[in-house]
Chain A
Amino acid sequence: MLRFVVRRFIYSIPVLIAVSIIVFVLMQTAGDPLSRLRNDPRISRSDVIRLEKKMGLDKPLHIQYFNWAFKFAKGDWGESFTAHRPVLEIIAEKLPATLTLMGISFIISAILAIIIGVYSALKQYSFFDYAATTFSFFGYAMPIFWLALILQLVFGYYLWKWTGIRFVYTAGMSSVGMEGSIIDRIQHLILPIATLSFAQIAQWSRYQRSSMLDVLGADYLRTARAKGLPERTVILKHALKNALIPVVTIMAIDLAYLFSGAVIVETVFSWPGMGKLFHDAVVQFNYPVVMATMMISAVLVIFFNMVSDIINKYLDPRIKYD
């Protein structure tokens, strides 16, 4: 096991370096952070040249990359070009909001997906199963942007207009002046979490359903029933445990995206998270922020892939890693 982890770790280093080089080169060739200034008639060429020199943007590409890489390795992630604050500080600001949103979504989606998937499999071809399947296809096909706006309009605006009672808020993390209220927080969380969970549940419940169906046909379940075990124990103790394995491994990989946020949901619901941070930084060609966020994502994806493999091996003794 230790050898496995160490080997993975060593393999990941060239991958990370390659990712950083590719992202760096792509960003530089796509545009530069001063382009907005170049197109402003009030700002002269000499102003732009002066700023280029000051920000080190006039140096050749590879020199800029090595400057960034050496500093990054030492823990200095640089400063945002536009906010003039350390990138670490900015990320630390946005991370809690993202983790709250993505984390709660993840947990709710996981629980509901497993329940729906298992129940669908147990009562295959029942009304519940057909309903769940239709719901899943909807979830896959639905554009998140549209879903977010519809939920916002229907539950945030119309529901309030018809009943006069505010059940949920349209956007933001809290209301002005009510930052301490838990109820207020929950009211703001409901719509974005519903939007995110919709697609997530649709996807995971399908995996769970098919995995459960596979397991339900197995011989060892017949043996368990023959032994005289109650149906409940057969399903929950023997079948479910095995059916969960593939689903859990997929969920472990998706854990990596907990930190990346979801830019569309964050934009529509004015949720100040990592997704929007990354998107804005790309649009502004704010290299320090883009590079730092990409590196975090890459590290997390590699790490959680490894975790997922380990969990898989732990749950299913048939799998061997050397």
Chain B
Amino acid sequence: MLKDIKKIVGFFTALFIALILIINVGCKAKEEPTKSATEKPTSGGTLVFGYEQEPETLNPFILGGDLAPTGDVANLILPKFFIVTPDFKYEPSLLAEIPTEENGGIKKNPLAITYKLKKEAKWSDGKPITSEDVKFTWETIMNKKWEIVTQSGYDLIKKIDTPDAQTVVVTFESNYASWRDLWSGTYYVLPKHALEKADLNKIWNSKITISGGPFSFKQWKAGDSISLVRNENYWGKKAYLNSIVFKYIPDTNTALAQFKAGEVDMIYPTPDIDLLNQLQATEGAQVLSGAGTQFEQIGFNMKNPILKNKKVREAIAYAIDRKAITEQVMKGNVKPLHSIIVPEQSRYYVPAWEKYTKNIEKAKKLLKESGLKNISLTISTTAGNAARERIEQIIQANLKEIGIDLKIKNTDPATFFDSWLTDGTFDIGEWGFMATPDPSGQIITFSGEQMPPDGLNNFFYSNDKVTKLADEQDIELDENKRAEKIKEIQEILAEDLPTIPMFQRITFIAFGSKVKGPKLNPTIEGSTWNAAEWWIKQ
């Protein structure tokens, strides 16, 4: 009987292989690419985007929808006021013009902003996008029934008037400097006529039923892919691609294998230098890389009696070789970062930490002046992160040179962030920050009013001047005055040294030779920000 089984198995295996050969060899003839002389965008084609994480829900307003997987899909479907370009500029998308004091868009005392929407803007069902939709969005966000992620900024709005279909007048309770992020970023303008009677906690979990952007939702195969098709009724420049399919590939190695094998056209993987090198070496791959908005920094726990001593912190700042660290970990892809604001935030950036280069003599001198001897400290970060662990090792070696004994003690991310950083049970910490087009988040962290557990001042740092300036910049509407305050904060921080910025992480996308049009955007807009301009060379 064994022999019979072997025969049967052998037969089916041979049959299977034969079928595959027939199908593939037969089809191979059609795969020869035709050469095209022009580079003019052509309409048509489907782009398969290998994406790492599947969205939990497609509704960007409720809990679970606040992450990039949801945003990268919603960005193609829903309209918003501003889009942030790769160089951190706010470009009006749904708005006809940027509100300024000159054009009467901004009135002060009380703060009232007048937004003008584009006349041609309309939803995919033909109904126009109006001021009513904008007001409805605000009401939805403030509605207690829904599990809304954040109401920051929207809770400062006193009232919204809609004098005509294209005009929205928003009156605030108090001055708010980050007003450009409203109805933008991770939030959008919602269609009143489609949602006013709906249960927002349920309606857009599995699909987005209407479109105000270049693509419309078509299908979500759970665990596998989300398909979008071109919105033929789009009020802006119509997309070239017929459709985009997000294929969900949780493992980075798998994504690389699929990309190389041509099973996906584009990937946007978790940044990793080795992966970048592998991609750049792949035949036919186009890779765009650049400094991202996430950056690494060293944070001091100012509650620690040793670290309270400013000379000690200064000594450490002059002992750490930031240049070597950046070169070893990032392999020359970025330069050391000299502030808690990144250079791309050009209006606010001042390289205040530039003077801190490795100078062992100076470091030893400062340490002597501190009066402390035989210093022993620990450095902590999230375990399992090879890049961060490397940083710790280099710093350990650096500090040894000036006589500081540094021990490395890491833990899992949940414990690190929710326990150690929040309770202040660490000495020196290494963790990441995110730079946003509006720098408020990066600045407020250093305010004396943001102590954990309510705030994120994990440095336990308090400087009255900084606290005062941080509050002032939050409500300063004059762009130049605000920039002045933010620059001053950076100078003070570079002197007080609660933190030492390290370097920006890179971000990159890779796409096949037939794909044209993608541009890297390190901001919150993400990799799909200009998907309407993508096309496939047939």
Q: Is A170 an interface residue (CB 8 A)?
A: yes
Q: Are A183 and B19 in contact (CB under 8 A)?
A: yes
* Chain A CB within 8 A of B30 CB: no
Complexed CA–CA distance, A167 and B257 (Å): 15
In the complex formed, the residue of A with least CB distance to B48 is A176
Q: Give residues in B with beta carbon < 8 Å to A.
A: 1-2, 5, 16-17, 19-21, 23-25, 28, 46, 48, 54, 56-57, 59, 62-64, 66, 147-152, 155, 201-202, 205-206, 221-225, 245, 247-251, 253-254, 257-258, 260-261, 263, 414, 417-418, 434, 436, 441-442, 444-445, 454-456
Whether the Cβ atoms of B205 and A83 lie closer than 8 Å is yes
> In the bound complex, do residue A172 and residue B249 qualify as a contact, i.e. CB atoms below 8 Å apart?
yes
* Interfacial chain A residues near B202, Cβ < 8 Å: 84-85
Complexed CA–CA distance, A306 and B436 (Å): 58
Residues of A within 8 A of B454 (CB): 45
Q: Which residue of A lies closest to B206 (CB)?
A: A85
Excluding A37-B63, A170-B257, A173-B223, 6 further A-B contacts by CB distance (< 8 Å) are: A32-B418, A37-B150, A39-B417, A51-B147, A51-B149, A84-B201
Q: Which of A250-288 contact B (CB under 8 A)?
A: 267-273, 276
| Cα of A216 to Cα of B68 in the assembled complex, Å | 62
Pull 28 A–B residue pairs with CB atoms less than 8 Å apart, ordered by A.
A31-B418, A32-B418, A35-B414, A37-B149, A38-B418, A41-B434, A43-B149, A44-B150, A47-B148, A51-B63, A51-B147, A51-B149, A54-B147, A80-B56, A80-B64, A82-B56, A83-B205, A84-B64, A166-B24, A167-B20, A170-B257, A171-B254, A171-B257, A171-B258, A173-B224, A183-B20, A267-B251, A270-B249
A-side interface residues, number (CB < 8 Å): 63
**Given contacts A42-B441, A171-B258, A183 and B152 within 8 Å (CB-CB):** no
B149 A35 Cβ-Cβ under 8 A: no
Q: Which residue of A lies closest to B414 (CB)?
A: A31
Interface flag for A295 (CB, 8 Å): no
Please provide the chain A residues from 161 to 193 with a CB less than 8 Å away from any CB of chain B in the complex.
161, 164-167, 169-177, 179, 183, 186-187
A152 contacts B257, C-beta separation under 8 Å: yes
Q: Does A63 contact B (CB under 8 A)?
A: no
**B249 / chain A contacts, CB cutoff of 8 Å:** 171-172, 270
A97 contacts the other chain (CB 8 A): yes
Give complex CA distance A197, B189 in Å: 50
Q: Is the pair A115, B2 in contact by a Cβ cutoff of 8 Å?
A: yes
* Complex CA–CA separation, A152 to B249 (angstroms): 13
Whether A141 is near chain B, meaning CB under 8 Å from some CB there, is no
Q: Is the CB of A35 within 8 A of B261?
A: no
A119 and B149 alpha carbons, distance in the complex (Å)? 62
* B20, B150, B253: the one within 8 Å of A42 (CB): B150
The 7 A-B pairs at the shortest CB distance, nearest first, are namely A272-B223, A82-B64, A41-B441, A82-B56, A165-B24, A31-B414, A43-B150
Q: Which of B56, B225, B442 has the largest count of A CB atoms less than 10 A from its CB?
A: B56
Q: How far is the CB of A28 from chain B (nearest CB, A)?
A: 13
